[in-house]
């Protein structure tokens, strides 16, 4: 097998097949890494049979081979891991091909993320006193002057501007006071899946406002023919509880597999 470095757009057809093959959709946390990662075509007998995407930290974030080569996927995976100096793998637990190859490799692992794809009846009632307002470019000054914790949603003013211009950003008010904001970010431009992000003003935390924001965002997404999902760090128990109160449930995790490093005696 040959591994050929290429451009992300050269594997787009394979990526469409890969994303369509998953029982659940891509995680936004991983999708945002794609543009700053390296793409590699996998070839057998000079024929493209799949691809791998590796980020700048040598972490494998996507691995795919065509169905006819799945029986050989472990050997293909092992060669890619070795030749591309991959140290770690981010694996969605619903990505069965990547998961099985990581397990067969006996890699050590840790759970790093909780992925919410399903939802049931919320554990809270919708609070009609909370007002949801679409953010405009004039909202930037208000939002960037908030507590640094708001950077959980956007890292820079330019990123916030881009989200307001191209995605759905909302301010939330209770009794005419800003209590938080939320975002609905399309996970991939070619699909109608989206990720929900929430920030609550520190002085207003602990009052179920985060769950109210997620509930409002989810209802907006559904009304607009989008399929909402959420995710948070595994150790962020507070965020998990907020998401679960809104009705989301998690059957899936983001797993970090680590390649065993050889030791010199």
Q: Are residues 39 and 122 in the same domain?
A: no
| Per-residue pLDDT at 206 | 87
3-state class (DSSP) for residue 127: coil
Do 70 and 101 fall into the same domain?
yes
pTM of the model: 0.92
With 0-12 / 13-18 / 19 or more C-beta atoms within 10 angstroms meaning exposed / middle / buried, residue 146 is middle
Residue-level pLDDT at 261: 61
Q: Which helix (H) or strand (E) holds 82?
A: helix 73-83
- Nearest 5°: phi and psi at 26? -50, 150
CATH number for the domain including 146?
Answer: 3.40.630.30
Residue 265, in any domain of the structure:
no
Residue 222 lies in a domain: yes
For residue 25, the model assigns a pLDDT of 97
Q: Which domain holds residue 216?
A: 118-252
Domain match, 125 and 247 both:
yes
Determine contact, residues 215/199, Cβ cutoff 8 Å: no
Residue 38 is assigned to a structural domain of this protein: yes
CB count within 10 Å of CB 18 equals: 21
HSE value, Cβ hemisphere, 13 Å, CA-based, for 155: 1
- Give pLDDT tens digits along the chain (265 positions): 999 999 999 999 999 999 999 999 999 999 999 999 999 999 999 999 999 999 999 999 999 999 999 999 999 999 999 999 999 999 999 999 999 999 999 999 999 999 999 999 999 999 999 999 999 999 999 999 998 999 888 989 999 999 999 999 999 999 999 999 999 999 999 999 999 999 999 999 988 999 999 999 999 999 999 999 999 999 999 999 999 999 999 999 999 999 876 544 4
CB 139 within 8 A of CB 154: no
Q: Report long-range pairs for 158-163 (Cβ below 8 Å, ≥24 apart).
A: 161/137
**pLDDT at 217 (0 to 100):** 97
Residue 81: give its domain's CATH number: 3.40.630.80
What's the total number of domains in the chain? Answer: 2
């Amino acid at each position: 097998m040959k591994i050929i470095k290429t451009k992300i757009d050269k594997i787009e057809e394979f990526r469409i097949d890969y994303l369509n093959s998953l029982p659940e959709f891509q995680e936004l946390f991983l999708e945002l890494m794609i543009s700053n990662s390296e793409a590699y075509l996998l070839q057998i007998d000079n024929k493209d049979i799949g691809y791998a995407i590796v980020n700048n930290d040598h972490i494998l974030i996507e691995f795919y081979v065509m169905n006819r080569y799945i029986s050989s996927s472990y050997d293909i995976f092992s060669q890619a891991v070795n030749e591309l100096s991959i140290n770690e793998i981010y694996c969605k637990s619903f990505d069965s091909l990547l998961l099985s190859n990581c397990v067969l490799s006996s890699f050590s692992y840790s759970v790093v993320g909780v992925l919410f794809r399903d939802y049931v009846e919320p554990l809270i009632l919708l609070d009609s006193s909370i007002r949801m307002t679409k953010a405009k470019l004039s909202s930037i000054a208000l939002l960037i002057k908030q507590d640094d914790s708001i950077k959980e949603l956007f890292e820079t003013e330019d990123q916030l501007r881009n989200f307001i211009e191209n995605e759905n950003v909302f301010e939330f008010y209770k009794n005419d006071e800003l209590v938080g904001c939320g975002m609905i970010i399309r996970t991939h431009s070619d699909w109608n899946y989206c990720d929900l992000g929430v920030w609550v003003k520190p002085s207003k935390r602990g009052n179920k406002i985060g769950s109210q924001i997620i509930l409002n965002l989810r209802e907006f997404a559904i009304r607009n023919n989008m399929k909402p999902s959420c995710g948070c760090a595994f150790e962020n128990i507070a965020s998990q509880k907020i998401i679960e109160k809104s009705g989301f449930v998690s059957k899936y995790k983001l797993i970090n597999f680590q390649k065993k490093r050889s030791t010199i005696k």
